[in-house]
Structure 1
Amino acid sequence: MAKKPFLIGITGGSGSGKTTVSKALITRLADNNPILLQQDVYYKDQSEKPMEERMKTNYDHPDSIETDLFVSDLKKLIRHQSIDTPVYDYAEHTRSKETTHVEPGDVIIVDGVLLFNDERVRDLMDLKVYVDTDDDIRFIRRLQRDTHERGRTVEGVIEQYTATVKPMHNQFVEPTKRYADIIVPEGGGNYVAIDMLMNQAIAMVKKED
């Protein structure tokens, strides 16, 4: 019987550097057949709603995620079963009709802003990491990403940040820091902390072997 995959959960505020840390881990754990699963592809389908209503979606609230499907897919990967994840269209504020096929791996790296909010998800993780980055840095990164990659205006990003992102971070993201096994301060640019995380993750994966 195949051994259980090793699950690493990486969370932190929007723009904290989660994906940078995740991709660094993928590279360092390349010999262990790692895969990356991102929570934000599990935003709920809103195709039945008019665009005006979709644009008001609070993406930083746990209710925006289809957590039941997310947990179900994680459990399938743990059982060494492949999955077809949703694809989210940020310009249309709903799911695309496409899906992404994901084969199981020996190491599963999962990242997401709201990753540690649900106990079911936390309980599946073997190593939980919180990427802690200054609010100003996170806002600048989000502004650059949303205007360049997601078709948002500067005014729209600022309005969304002040109305929902910051208050939701304080309510739902920051408090989950207490569940972390490792905290990476200053995000993806803290190479010393990331290197220490890599070494710990590699040691834990080898121990599982």
Structure 2
Amino acid sequence: MLIIGISGGTGSGKTAISEKLKKEFGESDIGFISQDSYYNDNGNLSFDEKNKINFDHPDAIDFELLINHLNLLKNGKNINQPIYSFIYHNRTEKTKLLKPKKIIIIEGLLILNNIKLRGLIDLKVFVDTTKNLRFKRRLNRDINQRGRTAEEVIELFNSRLNKMHNLYVEPMKKICDMIIDNNKENSLEISPLINVIKSRL
């Protein structure tokens, strides 16, 4: 099993790369784990308390469960991934079955900030994108997929997201095996990554 970690700022294109890899290698050989599924279960908190959580800080992630699930997959066991609601800020009652695959992609802002998790990743990839382009993509996503207003996204980006990016995400670029430039609209090139993956299978 080859475990690939894809990190980078919010809106950098991590999910877009994952989709391209799925198309290249096929669903039978590739499985996906999103960091977003492993936010701490905040079901016991009030909605106001949930809104105060810094979801862009490593403490917001249930790394223990994520590491456990990754180890289970490496040992040939199925896992039931949590499904997280970004509208209600808690895990839903449903889970998603993931079986061991030849390639496992784990993607997220903070996956490289945990030393134990980082040690399980065979190939570390960073998606490099400018602040302005990341903001534009985050704005579109949160309005269309997460039920947020433009004002909420702008406030979040300016008050917290950019600061957390500089503290926790950008510094991880220097430890990655590959950096992918994704600063051109509709022109994401991942052939070098595909070639490296094929050479390691």
TM-score (norm 2): 0.95
Given residue 114 of structure 1, which amino acid in structure 2 is its aligned partner?
Answer: L
Task: Tell me the CA shift for residue 80 of structure 1.
Answer: 1.0
Given residue 76 of structure 2, which amino acid in structure 1 is its aligned partner?
Answer: H
Equivalent position of 2:77 in the other structure: 81
With 168-177 and 48-57 compared, the bigger mean Cα shift is at 48-57
Identity across matched positions, percent: 38
Equivalent position of 2:119 in the other structure: 123
| CA distance in 1: counterparts of 2:27 and 2:136, whole angstroms | 35
Q: Secondary structure at the match of 2:44?
A: coil
- The CA deviation string for residues 58-104 of structure 1, in whole angstroms up to 9 with x for no partner, is 11000010000000000001111000111101110111111111111
Equivalent position of 1:95 in the other structure: 91
Task: Tell me the CA shift for residue 202 of structure 1.
Answer: 1.1
| CA distance in 2: counterparts of 1:74 and 1:50, whole angstroms | 31
Root mean square deviation, CA, Å: 1.4
1:105 has 2:101 as partner: yes
| CA distance in 1: counterparts of 2:144 and 2:87, whole angstroms | 12
Equivalent position of 1:57 in the other structure: 53
| CA distance in 2: counterparts of 1:106 and 1:48, whole angstroms | 37
Task: Tell me the CA shift for residue 201 of structure 1.
Answer: 1.1
| CA distance in 1: counterparts of 2:70 and 2:27, whole angstroms | 21
Equivalent position of 1:138 in the other structure: 134
Q: Secondary structure at the match of 1:10?
A: strand
Q: Secondary structure at the match of 2:141?
A: helix
Given residue 69 of structure 2, which amino acid in structure 1 is its aligned partner?
Answer: D
Equivalent position of 2:34 in the other structure: 38
Task: Tell me the CA shift for residue 191 of structure 1.
Answer: 3.7
Q: Secondary structure at the match of 2:69?
A: helix
Aligned pair partner of 1:27 in 23, 29, 49:
23
1:198 has 2:194 as partner: yes
Aligned pair partner of 2:182 in 171, 182, 186:
186
Q: Secondary structure at the match of 1:183?
A: strand
Task: Tell me the CA shift for residue 187 of structure 1.
Answer: 5.5
Q: Secondary structure at the match of 2:192?
A: helix
| Unaligned runs of at least 5 residues, structure 1 | none
Alpha carbons of structure 1 residues 191 and 146: separation in structure 2 relative to 1, 3 Å: closer
| CA distance in 1: counterparts of 2:65 and 2:12, whole angstroms | 25
Task: Tell me the CA shift for residue 30 of structure 1.
Answer: 2.2
The 8 Å contact of residues 3 and 123 in structure 2, kept in 1 or not, is answered as: yes
Alpha carbons of structure 1 residues 31 and 41: separation in structure 2 relative to 1, 3 Å: closer
The 8 Å contact of residues 86 and 99 in structure 1, kept in 2 or not, is answered as: yes
Q: Secondary structure at the match of 2:110?
A: coil
Alpha carbons of structure 1 residues 180 and 99: separation in structure 2 relative to 1, 3 Å: same
Alpha carbons of structure 1 residues 103 and 142: separation in structure 2 relative to 1, 3 Å: same
- The CA deviation string for residues 114-134 of structure 1, in whole angstroms up to 9 with x for no partner, is 010011111111111000001
1:163 has 2:148 as partner: no
